Structure formats: structure tokens, C-alpha cells
Structure 1
């Protein structure tokens, strides 16, 4: 029997998702376990983790060898556990006897650079620079009303900062729209950026006008996964709508998830054509390009923006996406999400090469 291991930093992270996958694993001839990279014994290379027992539908404590197939669901912060876990995960990914469902993406800057160099995708990438000094903000704000700073390794809206012109000063806000500082001098801006840089790298982009007629921030989330033949499949597309006054539509901050079709129906026919053409170009081109550029992936959460003129923008690409948009799916399609890691694991076990460029919708 094949063995597939979910790797997470937090014991309870993805617990429900992992359990639903494990319940379906037996029919594929797969046993499922879960563990933290910090629970690997460096001497024996055995793992202290949890094995799923199909008879009871429960997890039991166990010690076992590192499974040959691994599903990386580790999310890192600035804490000590993250600092210790990262090099262990890198070591696991370099081992030829282990296969990951997906090998992940680097930080936002590397991804934006790769997309900006692609002949088709570059048209959908907002102008992006590294945020290193005050001039980066000031130059951008000479031609834009507002700019958004994003942590290179951030997700879920955490750490985002908004720079907005406010008379002769700059208003600095968090992603909730709460003002954090008012900057009147260049030296104050330099100090702020220096303090952010101590936490990690940032990129800077124009703040795109992405809001509903009611003033709610929104974006489009598309979940893509590979199927049992290594082909990219679109699983679901949805619209995330935040609260008025916020800058990002983040589900953790209370954003609603709405059907894509409802949003699309509100557009004029000409704008609808522009938007759909942009989306189709991106989802046909981006997944195989990322595979080729950064190594094989299993799934992608694609965040897109659509402005009033019908332009579509790539806001973020996540190789460890959440699944909150999946609740819009009927039960049989939700089941496909839970079976997808198992089917793809079998494909890899058969020696499959995931280089098929076709995307099914």
C-alpha cells in the first residue's frame, strides 16, 4: 500500500480537509498519515505523527518511516518553529527517494519577475518593484493615487500596507483600512520602510481600483488542481467580497464568497467578453509555465482583479491555497477536491510526468 503524508507545522491545521482525504484513501490503495517536519528524529529518520484508521475514522499516534509521497501544507511565519522547519522541508524536497505532490513557489518577487518576462502573461502583471527605500514609494505616487506593499512571503492579507496621498502627507493603512500612521517627512517614511524590512522583504505595486459599486473590495479566486493524468483542471471560480472601507477581500477578515456567475451577470456584454478572454488566457498559460519555471506543482489558488475597463490583473498566485471557495460546489464536486490528492499521488507513483499543457474547465 502506498503511503501519503500531510506535512503541517500545526497539528490542527487542515485537520478537516486531511481527514476527508484520508476517509477516501483506502479505495485507492493509499494509507494517509500526517506529521510536522519538526517531529522527524534526525538519528533514525522516523517520524512521530498520526496515522488514519479507516475502521474508526480516527487518527492515532504512531511512529513511522517518512512516507515516500508528501503533501506540503506548511505555512511559515517569523517564529522559531518556522525557522527550524524550513531547512528540514528543503532537505526533504531534495531527497531523490521522496516525491512531493507539489514543490511550491518561491516568494512573490520571483513569481512576479517570472510572469513579467512571459510574452503573454506580462500584460496581466501590475508594475512591481522591490520596496527598499522611500524613493520607491514616492516615485510610484507621482503617477498613482495609492500604492500597496505586500510581504514577499505573506498570505491571507497579513502584513499588507497601503500608501495613500492625503494632502501633503501620506496615510499608511493596513488591509482593513485602519490608518496606522500619517507621514509628513521623508525621514519618517524611511524609518517605516526600514522597520518593515526587518520583518522581511516587500514588493510595491499600484493600488488597483478593485471595488463593487457599493464600495466593497473584491477579487476573483480560481482553484486549479492536477487530475489523475497530470492535467490541470479548473475546480471552481468565485468572487470574494470584503467589507466597505477595507482594501482587500480576505476571507479571514470576514469577506463573503459569492458565485462567479452572479458577478459576471452584472457586467456589460462588452466588458464580460474582455474579462473572460483575460481569465481564459491566464488559466491556460500560467499553470504550465509555473511548472516549467519553478518545478512541478499540484494546485494553484489564483487571485485575479478586474477593473472597470475590463482589464484583468494577476494579484497573487498561491501554491498552498485554501479551500473556502469550495463550499459553492455541489457535494459531488466537493468530493472530487478530496479525491484529487489521492488520484494525483497514484499518477506520480506510476511514474507519470506532469507535463501535459492542457487545461480542462
Structure 2
């Protein structure tokens, strides 16, 4: 029997999403489980988690064997997973077919994409924040820079550093509000930067003017997923607008959603065409380049910025994207989102059969 396991960081997260997927999969006779990476037992080759019960529409606590397919929706904050967790996930990838293998750190992605002729014009210059001196040198060169977590998501942990007459101002968004801290001396700033770098890995980018005339930051989120024929399809797009004078526009940090259609209509016609052609080029090129450089993927959240000169920038690429903006702006898309993982599993299953082996035979070969 085909089975699907949904791996989560916390079983209380994405409950509706996992349940809606399970409802649809169970109608085809599939078993669906959800679990945390900590529930993986590499010696017994079992997983402790929950099993979906189609009769009660509830999840029952259960220990189960390794599912046929794994849909990895786990997140682990700003730091790398600890070695024990990484080892368990690596082991699991040798036991089951993952829908997508995820992407590495933002720095690794940047180093692979920055010199590609078809994409390099849209990728902001990026450097590693190895120490306070490096950060200071970039701030001196650009006057305004962003510090972004190398393993971050949802706009959390991003800092804007700005040179001012009497020192440096550090700005961040927290609890939907703008916060500032003023460092009057280079030494004070260096101590703060070093304390930050001792906890997390950061990247440095020049600050781009990605806000509207009301000084509200915004970006464009586009959700792509593979379909039942292994082709990338766009599931939806929308503009995320942040609060005035804040530096992030993510919905998780207080942003609001606006339709792309409304946004693009407010741009002068000649610029509309350029922006749409550029977006189309990026969507055709980026997924293929990512899979050529890394491992197979199932879904992507691509965040694009559009500056005041109407230039388009690739701000972030997420292999475990959220769906909130699509569900908010295009609620009729929800069923497509719930069905997409199942359709792609079916493609993977059919592809193995065409190759002359069943899913079970393929997994048996992996396990021996």
C-alpha cells in the first residue's frame, strides 16, 4: 500500500494542511502519517508520530514503518539543525522517496547562481558576514546594508544598518513594529555585531529601495509546484506589503496581502511590460537552474523585489514555502494546493513503474 509521511517541526503546525492532504489521499486508499524528525528510529526503522483516521477525521498516535513518500515541511529556525537531527533526516532520505530534497543555505544558493548568465542580473551582490570588520567595510562602502540570516525565513532576524552623521542606526521589525538602536561609536557597533555573529550565520547585501511612495516595503511572492507530469506550474502570486517605515513585508511580521493585478495596474504601461517579461524569464529559468545545481524539488516560493527604477530582483528562494498569501488572495486555489503533493507522489510512483520496478521494489533496494 502506498503511504505518505508529512514531516513537521511541530505537530501542532500546519494541522489543516496535513489533514486536507490526508483526506484526499485516503480516498485513493493511501495511508497518511505525520511526524517530527525526533520520532525517527534509525535502528528499528520505524517512526513515532500520528496516523490519519479517515473514519473519525482525526490523527491517532502511532508507531509506523517508513512511509513510501516523505513530504518534508519541517523548519528549524535561524540555525543549522543539530547533527543528530541532520543524521536522522539523511538516513531517512535513503529509506523513502522525498517529494523534494530542499535547498541548502542562502549562501550556497548564491554562490551557485551568481555567475549564471541568464540570472546574474537579478541577484543582489551578497557576502558572508564573517566578522564585525567585514560588516563595517560593507557598511562604509554602501552606507546602507542588510544583515540576513543564512538559514532564516519569514522575514525574521533581518537587520538594516544605516550610516548617519553621529554613528550607525540598526533597524529591525518586531511584533509588526519598527525598532531602532543607535550606536554612536564604531566599537559599540562592533561588539553588537560580534554578539550577533556568535549566535547565527548572516549574509550581507546592499539595501535596495524596495518600498512604495508611502515608504511601505513590499515584495512579490510566487508559489510554484510540480504537477502530475513533473512540470512546474504557478499556483498563484501576490504582493506582500509591510507597515510604513518597516524593513520587511512578510505576512509573519505584520504584512498585508494585495493582488498582483492591482499592483501592476498602478505601474506605467511601458514598465508593466518590462516587469512582466522579466518575471516570466525568471520563472522559466530559476527552477531548472536550481535543480541542475542541487537536488530535485517539488515546490518553490520565489520572492521578487521591484525597485523604484522598476528593476526586478530575486530576494529569496524557499523550498518549503508558505501558502498564506495564495489562500488569502485566491481561496479558490486551496483544493489545488491540497491535491498537489498527492498528484506529484502519483507521478513519482508511475515513473518507477515505467522504469520497470514498483515503488516497493525501489525502496527494498534502498534498504538492502
TM-score (norm 2): 0.90
Counterpart position of 1:110: 108
Counterpart position of 1:161: 159
Counterpart position of 2:20: 20
Quick one: distance in 2 between partners of 1:59 and 1:81? 27
Answer yes or no: is the 8 Å Cα contact 2:79–2:201 preserved in 1: no
SS in 1 for 2:101: coil
Quick one: distance in 1 between partners of 2:283 and 2:309? 20
Answer yes or no: is the 8 Å Cα contact 1:6–1:18 preserved in 2: yes
* Deviation for aligned residue 1:214: 1.7
Counterpart position of 1:357: none
Q: How does 1:290-329 map to 2 (within 5 A)?
A: 290-328=290-328
Answer yes or no: is the 8 Å Cα contact 2:46–2:64 preserved in 1: yes
SS in 2 for 1:351: helix
Quick one: distance in 2 between partners of 1:198 and 1:300? 30
Counterpart position of 2:96: 98
Answer yes or no: is the 8 Å Cα contact 2:167–2:186 preserved in 1: no
User: Is there any run of 5+ residues in structure 1 with no aligned partner, and where?
Assistant: 354-361
Counterpart position of 1:269: 269
* Deviation for aligned residue 1:231: 0.4
Quick one: distance in 1 between partners of 2:57 and 2:278? 44
Quick one: distance in 2 between partners of 1:247 and 1:329? 23
Render the CA deviation track for 1:49-73: whole Å, top value 9, x for unaligned. 1111112211111111011210111
* Deviation for aligned residue 1:336: 0.8
Distance 1:40 1:141, change over 3 A: closer
Answer yes or no: is the 8 Å Cα contact 2:79–2:200 preserved in 1: no
Quick one: distance in 2 between partners of 1:81 and 1:327? 29
Quick one: distance in 1 between partners of 2:219 and 2:155? 12
Distance 1:144 1:199, change over 3 A: same
Answer yes or no: is the 8 Å Cα contact 2:78–2:150 preserved in 1: no
Render the CA deviation track for 1:213-238: whole Å, top value 9, x for unaligned. 22211000000000001100011010
Distance 1:282 1:339, change over 3 A: same
Distance 1:75 1:179, change over 3 A: same
Answer yes or no: is the 8 Å Cα contact 1:28–1:342 preserved in 2: no
User: RMSD value over aligned CA atoms?
Assistant: 2.0
Quick one: distance in 2 between partners of 1:83 and 1:72? 18
* Deviation for aligned residue 1:123: 0.5
Q: How does 1:90-239 map to 2 (within 5 A)?
A: 90-93=90-93, 95=94, 97-176=95-174, 178-239=178-239
User: Which stretch of structure 1 is more off in the superposition, 200-209 or 217-226?
Assistant: 200-209
* Deviation for aligned residue 1:331: 4.9
Quick one: distance in 2 between partners of 1:79 and 1:281? 33
Quick one: distance in 1 between partners of 2:270 and 2:81? 51
Render the CA deviation track for 1:314-350: whole Å, top value 9, x for unaligned. 1000001011012245554221110000000111112
Distance 1:332 1:178, change over 3 A: closer
Do residues 49 (structure 1) and 49 (structure 2) align?
A: yes
Render the CA deviation track for 1:21-51: whole Å, top value 9, x for unaligned. 1111123442211011111234312112111
* Deviation for aligned residue 1:83: 5.6
Quick one: distance in 2 between partners of 1:178 and 1:291? 37
Do residues 289 (structure 1) and 300 (structure 2) align?
A: no
Answer yes or no: is the 8 Å Cα contact 2:304–2:316 preserved in 1: yes
Counterpart position of 2:358: none
SS in 1 for 2:91: helix
Quick one: distance in 2 between partners of 1:134 and 1:273? 42
Quick one: distance in 2 between partners of 1:186 and 1:87? 41
Q: How does 1:329-340 map to 2 (within 5 A)?
A: 330-340=330-340
Aligned residues: 351
TM-score (norm 1): 0.92
User: Which stretch of structure 1 is more off in the superposition, 332-341 or 189-198?
Assistant: 189-198
Distance 1:186 1:68, change over 3 A: same
SS in 1 for 2:198: helix
SS in 1 for 2:237: strand
